Amino acid sequence: VRLADAHAAAGDHFSAADTLGQLVAGMRAQGLGSMHPGLRHTATKHAAALAAAGRRADSIAAYKELIELLTPLPPEHVGGEVAAAHVALATQLAQTGKQASFEQALEYAQLAQRMHDDPQLRGDHGRLNGAEPLDAAVAANALSGVLERLGR
């Protein structure tokens, strides 16, 4: 992961994405699953690196795989990770500029917003477990942006 971070810091997002992709594949080959935080973290960074490299179709696929990885876990434990993955996927879909992708983006953005709004998923600190303080605002902004692009 440090090598990928160094590539990203140097602006070489293509190499960062490739390195992280190899790490994710290796971790999965070793039998690591969704319960392993290292796999979840590396898969998240991989999807983000693909997006930063401008490899939109690959980043969309990676975010969908990440959501599949996170889905079996209890949302009260990984809700912040799940909501962030939904927002990132919605953003990548919206950036394609295609009407069908906007409709998909809307679904993912709404899911993220519903998670942030669900009082049963928010911890004592008032936000999803694993969520950063501004993540709810980022989700609301993503939803607003998609709705605006859809003319709603």
Residue 23, both tokens: 């790490």
Give the single-character DSSP code of 128. B
pLDDT interval class at 144 (50, 70, 90) = very high
Check whether 64 has a pLDDT greater than 90: yes
Confidence of residue 69 (pLDDT cuts 50, 70, 90): very high
- Judge contact between 43 and 69, C-beta under 8 A: yes
Question: Among candidates 89, 8, 101, 90, which has minimal Cα distance to 52?
Answer: 8
Q: Is 94 strand, coil or helix?
A: helix
Torsion of CA 8, 14, 17, 22, to 10 degrees: -120
The reported pLDDT for the residue numbered 132 is: 84
Which residue type occupies 57? Answer: A
- pTM for the complete prediction? 0.91
Segment 34-61, tens digit of pLDDT: 899 999 999 999 999 999 999 999 999 9
Q: What is the SS3 string spanning 85-148?
A: HHHHHHHHHHCCCCHHHHHHHHHHHHHHHHHHHCCCCECCCCCECCCCCCHHHHHHHHHHHHHH
SS3 100: helix
Q: Which two tokens stand for residue 70?
A: 């996170």
